[in-house]
Structure 1
Amino acid sequence: MSVTVRYFAAAEEIAGTPAEQRGAATVGELRAQLLAAHPGFDGVLPRCALLVDGARVDDEHLLTGSETIDVLPPFAGG
């Protein structure tokens, strides 16, 4: 079971790729995997929104393996 993780802005720069496949049972597990795989995320990922198929969810949200997760850092502007 794997989900597609898409990175935007600073998250893409840190990950070094616009997208990758990951296997995780929950959003929290996915977050831990991303921190372990991309050490530069420790200062950015806690401030990022993780959207599962377009909806913001908490770390306990269960993943089925067919979702697209968007990692969106906070954006400045107005």
Structure 2
Amino acid sequence: MKLRYFAGAADAAGREEQQVHGPITLGALRVVLSTEHGPEFADVLGRCSLLVDGTRGGDDVVVPDDATVDVLPPFAGG
């Protein structure tokens, strides 16, 4: 699957995109990414929304290998 990081998530991950093999649940993906990128990224990721092909999902959502996951930190303003 293709991961796309935006704003502070991209800064913390040190990249804007990444490939990960699925299928995997969003919860398991969070654990893998937190371990891979370290505690600063884990802190940012804990505040991010994960959108699978444009749809927000909970930690139990299974992400197929051909999906795109957007990692979106909270945005200030309106």
Match of 1:19 in 2: 17
Question: Could you tell which deviates more after superposition, 34-43 or 45-54?
Answer: 34-43
SS at match of 1:44: helix
Unaligned 5+ runs, structure 1: none
Q: How many residues align?
A: 76
SS in 2 for 1:5: strand
Q: Give the alignment of 1:61-76 within 5 angstroms.
A: 61-76=61-76
Gaps of 5+ in 2: none
What RMSD in Å do the two structures reach over aligned CA positions?
A: 0.9
Question: Which of structure 1's runs of 4+ aligned residues deviate more than 3 A?
Answer: none
1: CA distance, partners of 2:76 / 2:49: 14
